[in-house]
């Protein structure tokens, strides 16, 4: 018999994700490496997704344009995660991000590819303390707020 327990993104999970994100995301130059790892994973899972990033030179992930894009995405993710324990402000931020992404007509499945990539890179940075259930629940709050 298999039992699956769905976990909510409650306050404890939100605080845990915030803490784990701060540890994994790091500071300064480590953030650039962290972002590069996420996008390597995205493009490895979905090579055709590179075509979505022609405006930011996605074909050359080492380019200044793509590095700036990665910094913007990481900044938006950092902001969203930091607002997990402030639902009203998080909702407003996600609404703004939703508008920006609708303009770019990003197919829905690529949000899942991004989250899968994030969920591969964060535990690699954290080690065994990664709480997959909390990350699944709380990253769903963020990604669904952007994707809707």
Distances (CA, A) of 142 to 61, 105, 117, 127: 25, 18, 15, 23
32 phi and psi angles, rounded to 5 deg: -65, -45
Rounded CA separation 86/121 (Å): 25
Give me the helices (H) in the chain, please.
Answer: 11-25, 29-45, 64-82, 87-103, 109-126, 132-147
Whether the Cβ atoms of residue 109 and residue 47 lie closer than 8 Å to each other: no
Distances (CA, A) of 67 to 10, 32, 53, 138, 142: 33, 8, 12, 26, 22
- What six digits make up the tokens of 44? 């490895």
119 is in an annotated binding site: no
**Annotated binding residues for heme b, as ranges?**
101
**Annotated binding residues, as ranges?**
101
């Amino acid at each position: 018999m298999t039992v699956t327990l769905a976990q909510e993104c409650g306050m404890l999970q939100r605080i845990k994700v915030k803490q784990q994100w701060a540890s994994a995301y790091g500071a300064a130059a480590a953030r650039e490496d962290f972002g590069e790892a996420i996008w390597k994973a995205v493009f490895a899972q979905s090579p055709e997704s590179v075509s979505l990033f022609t405006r930011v030179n996605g074909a050359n992930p080492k380019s200044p344009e793509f590095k700036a894009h990665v910094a913007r995405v990481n900044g938006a993710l950092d902001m969203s995660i930091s607002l997990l324990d402030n639902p009203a402000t998080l909702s407003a931020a996600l609404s703004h991000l939703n508008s920006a992404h609708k303009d770019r007509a990003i197919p829905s499945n690529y949000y899942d590819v991004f989250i899968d990539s994030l969920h591969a890179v964060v535990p690699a940075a954290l080690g065994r303390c990664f709480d997959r259930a909390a990350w699944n629940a709380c990253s769903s709050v963020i990604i669904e707020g952007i994707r809707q």
